Amino acid sequence: MGNAAVLPPPSVPWWKEINRNQWYALIAGKLGWMLDAFDVMLYVFCLKVIMDEWHLNPATAGFMVTVTLFASSFGGIVFGAVADRWGRKKALMATVLIFSVCSGLSGLSQNLLELAIARTILGLGMGGEWASGALLVSETWPAKHRGKAIGLMQGGWAIGYILAAIAAATILPRFGWRVMFFLGIIPALFILWVRTRVEEPEVWVKQHKKEKADPKTKGSFWQIFRMDLLRYTLISTLISTFVMFAYWGLFSWLPSFLGSPVAKGGAGLSIVRAPMWMIPLMIGAYFGYISFGFIADKFGRRPTFAAYLILSAVFVFLFGNTRNATALMIMGPFLGFFGSGYYSAFGAFISELFPTRARGSAVGFCYNTGRMVSALAPTVIGFFAMKFGVGAALTFTAIAFLLAAASIFLLPETAGTELT
């Protein structure tokens, strides 16, 4: 009996280790990001129609995306700090309300100035939603499964993109771009579910109570620039800048690339077919987001991030220089898989670098300052599109992908880090 072998405990599937509150937090983050994507991408799919109706050139039309992205950077920074002070849940609810209402206002715009104002305010909600949702999920889920959770949450963007593509293919040709924007009001109903089902992360509640008991322990936005955190802040922001520039330069113009004539550097698909070509691309993106989390939990954040970005650069070049519809359909899921999946790194990676007292400010600032700089990408790519054609212009984003891949190794590996 004394020599009997001790059998290892039976393994439990990872999803059985997750409790109800953790699942609710993930659902809130995922649905919030999905609805955010739906509202934001409505404009991208309406881009060519608005250009034709208002007689805009590509640079001006791209500037409208730039306005939204620039505003979203401020929204992310502001609501990151709001989430630190008043809670992740309240910040999430406020941001969803903002971008839902402003999507409806976009549909009422009568000129470029009015549309710019609506898209600017919508951007504030867009940026703040990701920051608060990522914080909610990162702080609620256990360390060994945090990458999976953020990957599952990030997959909401692809679903929202697909829903926007379906709306563009079915509603846009029949009812016009204004009705498309009116659909964006629907996400406001999501707030009611968040209010009744989602709880604040325990780690934030403890920190909040600690700050109430001892005001000296209260964090501030500026602490992310102190010497102990400054290096992480600067490098995370640099990486975010490269990645955001590449992503928004690419995906803001992909529908136009697919729908533009070959003579103008496009793929030559019709305005009806172009949105449908984005669906397999976004299906690939969805699995890219999810797979990244599982791979990063197993092999680490840094090597997984670099591999996805290098392959993104390769597929961007191939996609932008292809004019065969079948080849584009085949490559689409791969471009979506690698060209989007790396986003799942940010919520977990930045959260793991910073303490709870500074986490909201750090996630909001690093992610969204990068987004602020990347707001120039749609305009820059629009400028190159006028000179070289849309397809050739897209290949410029490959350089930014490669720079981000190299920069990730300036930060330490954080997989498995317990949040404090």
pLDDT, tens only, 191-229: 888 888 899 999 888 888 888 887 766 667 888 999 989
- Pick the more confident residue, 324 or 166: 166
Separation CA 29–CA 99 (nearest Å): 15
Cα 387 off chain centre by: 29
Give the count of alpha carbons within 13 A of 95, CB side only. 38
What range does the domain containing 86 cover?
Answer: 19-202+217-410
Q: Is 89 domain-assigned? A: yes
Q: Is 415 domain-assigned? A: no
pLDDT of 1 > 50? The answer is no
- Pick the more confident residue, 157 or 338: 338
Q: Which amino acid is at 302?
A: R
Tokens of 415: 């997989």
Lowest-confidence range among 1-10, 217-226, 298-307, 328-337?
1-10
Predicted local confidence at residue 288, as pLDDT:
94
Q: Which residues of 77-91 are buried (b: 16+ CB within 10 A; e: fewer)?
A: bbbbbbbbbebbbbb
Over the chain, what is the mean pLDDT?
Answer: 85
Q: Which residues of 40-51 are buried (b: 16+ CB within 10 A; e: fewer)?
A: bbbbbbbbbbbb
Domain of 176, CATH number, reads: 1.20.1250.20
Predicted local confidence at residue 140, as pLDDT:
92
Average pLDDT (173-181) is: 90
Predicted local confidence at residue 261, as pLDDT:
67
pLDDT, tens only, 91-138: 999 998 998 899 889 999 888 888 889 988 988 888 888 889 999 999
Separation CA 160–CA 154 (nearest Å): 11
Average pLDDT (10-16) is: 77
Q: Is 280 domain-assigned? A: yes
Separation CA 415–CA 419 (nearest Å): 11
Average pLDDT (139-144) is: 91
Helices H / strands E in the chain, number of each:
19, 0
pLDDT of 314 > 60? The answer is yes
| Angle, vertex CA 63, rays to CA 58 and CA 68, nearest 5 | 135
Residue with tokens 């490959």: 398
- Categorise residue 38: left if φ over 0, alpha if ψ from -120 to 50, beta otherwise: alpha
Q: Is 2 domain-assigned? A: no
Q: Structurally, how many domains does the chain consist of?
A: 1
pLDDT, tens only, 347-399: 888 989 998 888 888 988 998 888 788 778 877 887 887 777 777 778 888 88
Tokens of 363: 């996630």
- Write the CA distances from 46 to 69, 162, 294, 411, integer angstroms: 17, 14, 35, 39
- Write the CA distances from 89 to 115, 204, 235, 340, integer angstroms: 29, 11, 28, 26
Q: Is 283 domain-assigned? A: yes
Q: Is 131 domain-assigned? A: yes
CB atoms within 10 A of CB 107: 20
pLDDT, tens only, 57-104: 877 777 777 787 778 888 888 888 888 888 889 999 999 899 889 988
Q: Is 211 domain-assigned? A: no
Q: Is 13 domain-assigned? A: no
The answer to whether 129 touches 36, Cβ cutoff 8 Å, is yes
